[in-house]
Amino acid sequence: MAGYDGSHTSRLPARDLPPATANARRFSRTGTRAGSGSTDAPPAISDGVVYVAGDVRIEARAIETGTRLWEINPDDGITTSPAVACGTVYVSTLNETLALDQSDGSVLWRIDKGTLSSSSSPVVVDDTIYITGSGVTALDATTGTERWQARTTHMAHGVAVGDRVYVGSGSNDNGAVTAFTNNGNEWWHTDDLEPIYAIPVVANDTVYVVSKWGTMTALSVTDGTIQWEATVESGIYDPPAIADGYVVVGAGNGSRTIARDAATGDRLWTFGTGNSGGGPVITGDRVLVTGANTGIHALDAVTGDRVRHWPDLPVGSQPVVADGRLFYLAWNVSDVFVID
């Protein structure tokens, strides 16, 4: 799923990466509806199959051959990544959430709860699927039955699930983070934050959120108290990646990826990417960061030095690492490319 797990840490064990000489090729084209923006969320990959939720078409393709295995045409636009779990592909459109059979794409259930935000991709943990919009809704992953629904102060822009359910929300001028129990009861609420449009991330007994205005805030998972705040670039809509005591934030509308100490917020290193096309990914001792016009950069996680580069690619999403390949959504179109 988006962010690789329910906590959105965007962390993977060490994985093989394509060589720097590898070329990018179009893997899937799913189209853009007239009068709408393209999706900007990456595909999901499971058991050798790539699941793509494009603006016009949802489809499954074999990772080795690119052969289309099945497709469906949703009733309205999609700006989110699929989530794959329980033998099911979950996709949120603007007006509904669908559960599709993983083998053939047939609709298992659908519910009239969608999302307007590309950061609000569905999250599946155990047997529950969480979707966000005007608040957060928890559904039975097998049947689609609503288990609970809770409102948030502002439009919700993503959910992270740890011991509790953490929702980031934001408007033009304000932001908040709310923690709910697994039964939907509010546990704590921290407001008076800057606008939050990126998914929260949970790790190390801490909730990390990044504001659109360029502030990263670390909150206690216990009561929401602020542990530290630090400056990052502005225009952040993608969550950070976290591993081994450090947290990496993409450039957003700025020009630098920034790594900070996860416990203190102290700056560790920076790397210039230009405007970021998607959030970072940590795989082993490498950090993958993107630039909308500079491609994908593989950095040493300790020093921030670049060790590999796939240049001149219009990258529009977080990269997805699978089978020695890198998948990404192109900037401003619903086309998935692969570097292999």
Stated pTM of the model:
0.94
Give the span between the Cα atoms of 76 and 291, in whole angstroms.
29
Pick from 193, 208, 191: which is nearest to 280 by CA? 208
Kindly report the average pLDDT of the chain as a whole number. 92
Pick from 138, 201, 213: which is nearest to 175 by CA? 213
The CATH number of domain 11-339 is 3.40.50.2000 = no
The kind and range of the H/E element at 287 are: strand 286-291
Summarised one tens digit per residue, pLDDT across range 282-320 is: 999 999 999 988 999 999 999 999 999 999 899 999 999
pLDDT for residue 29: 87
The kind and range of the H/E element at 327 are: strand 325-329
Q: List CB contacts of 7: < 8 A, sequence separation 6 or more.
A: 160, 161, 162, 201, 202, 203
Give the span between the Cα atoms of 127 and 65, in whole angstroms.
32
Choose between 277 and 14: higher pLDDT. Answer: 14
Summarised one tens digit per residue, pLDDT across range 7-51 is: 999 999 999 999 999 999 999 988 766 544 445 688 999 999 999
Question: Regarding beta strands 58-62 and 49-53, do their DSSP bridges make them parallel or antiparallel, or are they unpaired?
Answer: antiparallel
Q: What is the mean pLDDT of residues 236-252?
A: 95
Pick from 53, 4, 39: which is nearest to 201 by CA? 4
pLDDT for residue 32: 67
Q: How much of the chain, in percent, has pLDDT values that exceed 70?
A: 96
What are the residue ranges of helices labelled H in 53-156? none
Domain residue ranges of the chain, discontinuous segments joined by +: 11-339
Q: List CB contacts of 185: < 8 A, sequence separation 6 or more.
A: none
Q: State the CB neighbour count (10 A cutoff) for residue 47.
A: 7
Q: State the CB neighbour count (10 A cutoff) for residue 16.
A: 12
Summarised one tens digit per residue, pLDDT across range 171-199 is: 888 999 999 999 999 999 999 899 999 99
Give the span between the Cα atoms of 78 and 56, in whole angstroms.
8
